[in-house]
């Protein structure tokens, strides 16, 4: 039996990645379901704005004498008809400040604070056990959301869900950075962080079509029950089958490095710029995530785009994530960490004009431009965290990730609340274009500036007694030399002379 396990040990790493990623997908599915089910949820829990809307009749917009969305009073809404059939209804539309608070700040308020706390704890305690507890918490919270009867209950349970989900990224990032080597790190981080977009994309068909099936007469509630139960299964797999990996250094010598404080890391211009650029980019993504389904439903109520949105976000977005990770991993050895940030800037620059198109075009071209935009835009998340773990010392890595997420999510997660007041002033479409595509452009400029603060390719070191090129593998992608000590410089010289058994240990020693 032991021999069989040894032969299958090569499957452990992809298994860990699979469990962590699927668990993250379930958490994000619970996070984003509210954006798809909000209209049905609002009508039962009584919250948000009320407006005149197209009802369930089979009329198309092009056939209607009056567009329901242009009617401003309930009396006029009830009088609108075609061929003696009333096709408008005055009801909750799922939008408004109540919805924006429910979708964003109520979740972000807890998510960001707990992300920092759990990030600090991850640098000291067993990450697998902590991740098990976190997955258990958000899974139970998702299940309970399906049983709420009041708006405030949904708010509280989204806060509890955020408490559990806050640990997923910093804990899993630390685990994976100790399991996978540099040559696969950006791709692995991209696959894992695809969980955000996977959960977001899956929310469209689940929130729309499962709700329409009205299984067991539960409407939107069955979506939350199903997602929560799946989360419980992932929690059990995490706690029972995963093991805490040995903590390894990345690009620094653990035996000689002086203790580095978190403030020494955070005050670096490159860290500050990376946080600001990522926060702005995150705002663009969150704006579209929270408003995508409601936006297309409002402007094209007679066109079912649920499966198209799923294909674009999960299918095309996934390809973009993988391509971004592979490209980043391939060129980092030649160009240094700077190359990863260059990929970030270029990808967002290409994505921005297509993002504008997805807002202003009619359904067909909106989906085509959205697909192109997603292909390039979604390269960013995994690459950002690959950059982060490569420029931050091991001793404060999870803490830094937690603080990074705290700032990024507070800015990127809370700024979309401005969509509602801006929409009331200049229009919903115009507001979305500013906070979505416009912020893509701003992040492009900031990533370009950040790139110049990163290390370029490192030159190989030689000595006077041995001028041959060192053939041993180099950690060119790492950029922790900001914190190097004199002893590390001496060790680098030893490695140049053929002594390479310092620092990072053999990956296979943990299996």
Q: Report the C-alpha gap between 41 and 326 in whole angstroms.
A: 40
> What gap in Å lies between CA 393 and CA 481, rounded to an integer?
10
Report how far residue 101's alpha carbon sits from residue 407's, in angstroms, rounded to the nearest whole number: 18
What is the structure's pLDDT at 359?
94
Which residue matches tokens 């005055």?
90
Q: Does residue 313 surpass a pLDDT of 70?
A: yes
Q: How far apart are CA 447 and CA 261, in angstroms?
A: 25
Contact 290, 413 (CB under 8 A): no
- Model confidence pLDDT, tens digit, residues 372-399: 998 898 888 778 877 887 788 877 877 7
Q: What is the mean pLDDT of residues 46-65?
A: 85
For residue 43, what are its two tokens?
């009508």
Compute the distance between CA of residue 249 and CA of residue 266 in angstroms, rounded to an integer. 19
For 455-495, what is each residue's pLDDT tens digit? 765 554 444 433 333 433 334 344 444 444 334 334 344 33
> Which of 236, 257, 363 has the alpha carbon at shortest distance from 302?
363
Higher pLDDT, 62 or 103: 103
- Beta strand ranges found along 93-179 (DSSP E): none
The pLDDT of residue 28 is above 80 = yes
Contact, 390 vs 477, CB < 8 A?
yes
Q: Give the Cα separation of 340 and 331 in Å (integer).
A: 8
Cα gap 462→409, rounded to integer Å: 44
Q: What pTM was estimated for this model as a whole?
A: 0.72
Q: In whole angstroms, how large is the CA radius of gyration of the chain?
A: 25
Q: Which residue has the tokens 């000291």?
A: 124
Phi, psi of 250, deg, nearest 5: -125, 105
DSSP state of 508: G
DSSP per-residue string spanning 365-417: HHHHHHHHHHHHHTTHHHHHHHHHHHHS-GGGHHHHHHHHHHHHHHHHHHGGG
Per DSSP, helices labelled H in 427-478 are 428-433, 439-451
> Is the model more confident about 419 or about 196?
419
Lowest mean pLDDT among 49-63, 94-108, 265-279: 49-63
Which of helix, strand or coil describes residue 160? helix
């Amino acid at each position: 039996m032991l021999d069989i396990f040894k032969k299958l040990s090569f499957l452990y790493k992809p298994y860990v990645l699979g469990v962590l990623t699927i668990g993250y997908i379930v958490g994000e599915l619970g996070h984003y379901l509210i954006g798809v089910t909000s209209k049905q949820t609002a009508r039962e829990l009584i919250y948000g704005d009320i407006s005149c809307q197209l009802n369930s009749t089979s009329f198309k917009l092009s056939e209607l004498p009056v567009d329901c969305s242009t009617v401003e009073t309930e009396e006029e809404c009830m009088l609108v008809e075609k061929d003696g059939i009333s096709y408008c209804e005055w009801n909750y539309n799922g939008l408004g400040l109540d919805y924006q608070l429910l979708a964003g700040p109520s979740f972000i308020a807890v998510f960001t604070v707990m992300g920092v706390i759990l990030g600090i704890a991850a640098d000291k305690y067993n990450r697998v056990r902590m991740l098990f507890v976190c997955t258990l918490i958000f899974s139970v919270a998702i299940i309970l959301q399906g049983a709420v009867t009041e708006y405030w209950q949904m708010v509280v349970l989204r806060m509890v869900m955020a408490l559990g989900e806050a640990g997923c990224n910093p804990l899993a990032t630390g685990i994976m950075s100790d399991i996978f080597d540099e040559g696969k790190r950006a791709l692995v981080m991209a696959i894992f962080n695809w969980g955000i977009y996977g959960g977001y994309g899956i929310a469209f068909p689940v929130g729309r079509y499962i709700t329409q099936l009205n299984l067991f007469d539960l409407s939107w509630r069955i979506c939350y029950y199903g997602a929560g139960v799946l989360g419980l299964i992932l929690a059990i797999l995490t706690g029972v089958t995963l093991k805490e990996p040995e903590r390894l250094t990345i690009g620094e010598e653990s035996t000689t490095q002086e203790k580095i404080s978190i403030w020494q890391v955070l005050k670096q211009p490159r860290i500050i710029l990376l946080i600001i650029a990522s926060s702005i980019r995150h705002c663009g993504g969150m704006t579209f995530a929270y408003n995508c389904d409601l936006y297309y439903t409002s402007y094209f109520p007679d066109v079912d785009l649920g499966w198209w949105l799923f294909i674009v976000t999960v299918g095309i977005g996934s390809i973009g994530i993988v391509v971004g990770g592979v490209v980043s991993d391939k060129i980092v050895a030649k160009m240094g960490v700077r190359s990863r940030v260059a990929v970030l800037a270029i990808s967002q620059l290409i994505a921005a004009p297509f993002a504008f198109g997805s807002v202003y075009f009619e359904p067909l071209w909106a989906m085509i431009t959205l697909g192109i935009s997603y292909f390039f835009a979604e390269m960013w998340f995994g690459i950002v965290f690959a950059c982060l773990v490569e420029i931050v010392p091991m001793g404060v890595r999870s803490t830094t990730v937690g603080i990074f997420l705290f700032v990024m999510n507070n800015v990127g997660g809370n700024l979309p609340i401005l969509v509602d007041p801006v929409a009331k002033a200049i229009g919903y479409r115009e507001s979305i274009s500013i906070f979505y595509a416009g912020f893509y452009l701003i992040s492009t400029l900031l990533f370009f500036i950040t790139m110049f603060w990163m290390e370029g390719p490192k030159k190989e070191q030689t000595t006077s007694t041995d001028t041959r090129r060192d053939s041993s593998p180099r950690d060119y992608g790492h950029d922790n030399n900001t914190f190097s000590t004199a002893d590390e410089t001496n060790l680098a010289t030893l490695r140049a002379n053929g002594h390479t058994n310092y620092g990072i240990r053999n990956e296979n020693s943990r299996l």
